[in-house]
Amino acid sequence: MTVNRLKMAGERTRLPPWFRTRLPTGDLQRAFNETKATVDDNMLNTVCQEARCPNIHECWAAKDATFMVAGQECTRGCRFCAVGTIKTPPPLDTEEPANLASAVSSMGLKHAVITVVNRDDLPDSGAAHYKACLQAVREKSSEVTLELLCSDLAGDKDALAMLLQDLQLEVFAHNVECVPRLDKTVRDARATFANSLMILREAKRLRPDILTKSSLMVGLGETDEEVSEVLVMLREAGVDLVTIGQYLAPSDKHHSVMRFPEPEMFDKWADEAIELGFLGCASGPLVRSSYRAGRLYQQAAARLIIETE
């Protein structure tokens, strides 16, 4: 079942009751404040803040954060995203890898997610910088498991191969974002479902030892059946992990929310994903691509061990 909340002009989207979240108190509030202070002190950008994630208090209180590298603004203008758009971004920060590594180390993270902005202005789309950030974290925190939420690198297979070569990485993630039919109305013209699927398939071919992951938003105008079809396509591309979450418009200038599938529908999609052979699936109204990423990775790793015994 779906709750429709088609927004009329001048009307704010009304959220269903299952979107209530609790703010941390006591020790959890102190842990959240410590995480925020570490991020601020190291002048880091987090997708938690930039994407206005509804789970920021829960994740930061649990000492779990997703860092965004290569700038605060993106060279693309997808109509769902809260990250700012700029045609010619400032030069890359050469101190960012070291600052990122220090932050991850000081926070004592067990699993770190590094996401990126698109850098279409650079010949390699930023791949070398992304790699430098990951390597710096690994050198300073050898025990941490790493997840890269990568751009599509403008479809450059050579840049992807350079990025992944000899890189110590547990999860390579790239989000398809929406069902193929909605590409032109939701994503930047340079981003396509076909290109995203190619990047995921190529990453698995290059590094079969790395888990691949993708994420899908719902509430953009897709049908339940189209979500199921995307799950099949992702699995056929060798994707191991998938997340499905409700789209929430960052502002009135972004793509409108077209519907709110009920929690039971998210449960159904999760069941379908596991039946298709995904090693892990996080599916729910408040789920985001990096939500409980460490737990999802650990569950997948445990399943792999069981399957190989």
Q: What CATH number is associated with residue 188? A: 3.20.20.70
Amino acid 46: pLDDT = 63
Contact 176, 193 (CB under 8 A): yes
Predicted structure pTM score: 0.87
Amino acid 114: pLDDT = 95
Amino acid 52: pLDDT = 61
Q: How confident is the model at residue 39 (pLDDT cuts 50, 70, 90)?
A: low
Amino acid 140: pLDDT = 96
Average of pLDDT values for 18-28? Answer: 63
* Of 53, 83, 60, the residue nearest 285 (C-alpha): 53
Q: How confident is the model at residue 19 (pLDDT cuts 50, 70, 90)?
A: low
Does residue 11 lie within any of the structural domains? no
The answer, yes or no, to whether residue 214 has pLDDT greater than 50, is yes
The answer, yes or no, to whether residue 158 has pLDDT greater than 70, is yes
Amino acid 17: pLDDT = 76
Amino acid 57: pLDDT = 67
Average of pLDDT values for 188-199? Answer: 96
Average of pLDDT values for 71-93? Answer: 89
Contact 288, 250 (CB under 8 A): no
Residue type, 170: E
Does residue 94 lie within any of the structural domains? yes
Does residue 14 lie within any of the structural domains? no
Average of pLDDT values for 41-49? Answer: 62
> What is the distance, to the nearest Å, from the Cα of residue 52 to the centroid of all Cα atoms in its chain?
13
Q: How confident is the model at residue 287 (pLDDT cuts 50, 70, 90)?
A: very high
* Of 212, 232, 218, the residue nearest 284 (C-alpha): 218
Does residue 57 lie within any of the structural domains? yes
Amino acid 9: pLDDT = 37
Does residue 293 lie within any of the structural domains? yes
Lowest mean pLDDT among 62-76, 139-153, 160-174, 276-290: 62-76
Enclosing domain of residue 269: 21-308
Cα–Cα distance between 276 and 32 in angstroms, integer?
Answer: 37
Does residue 3 lie within any of the structural domains? no
Share of the chain above pLDDT 90, in %: 63
Cα–Cα distance between 86 and 65 in angstroms, integer?
Answer: 25
Does residue 46 lie within any of the structural domains? yes
The answer, yes or no, to whether residue 60 has pLDDT greater than 70, is no
**How many domains, in total, are found in the chain?**
1
Lowest mean pLDDT among 103-117, 220-234, 268-282: 103-117
The answer, yes or no, to whether residue 10 has pLDDT greater than 60, is no
The CB-side HSE value for 276 (13 A sphere, CA atoms) comes to 24
The answer, yes or no, to whether residue 11 has pLDDT greater than 50, is no
Does residue 8 lie within any of the structural domains? no
Amino acid 139: pLDDT = 97
Average of pLDDT values for 43-72? Answer: 69
DSSP of the chain? -EE--PPPTT-PPPPPGGG--PPP-THHHHHHHHHHHHHHHTT-EEHHHHTT-TTHHHHHHTT--EEEES-SEES---TT--SEE-SSPPPP-TTHHHHHHHHHHHHT-SEEEEEE---TTSTTTTHHHHHHHHHHHHHH-TT-EEEEE---GGG-HHHHHHHHTT---SEEE---BS-GGGHHHHS-TT--HHHHHHHHHHHHHH-TTSEEEEEEEESSS--HHHHHHHHHHHHHTT--EEEEEE---SSTTSPPP--EE-HHHHHHHHHHHHHHT-SEEEEETT--TTTTHHHHHHHHHHHHHHHH-
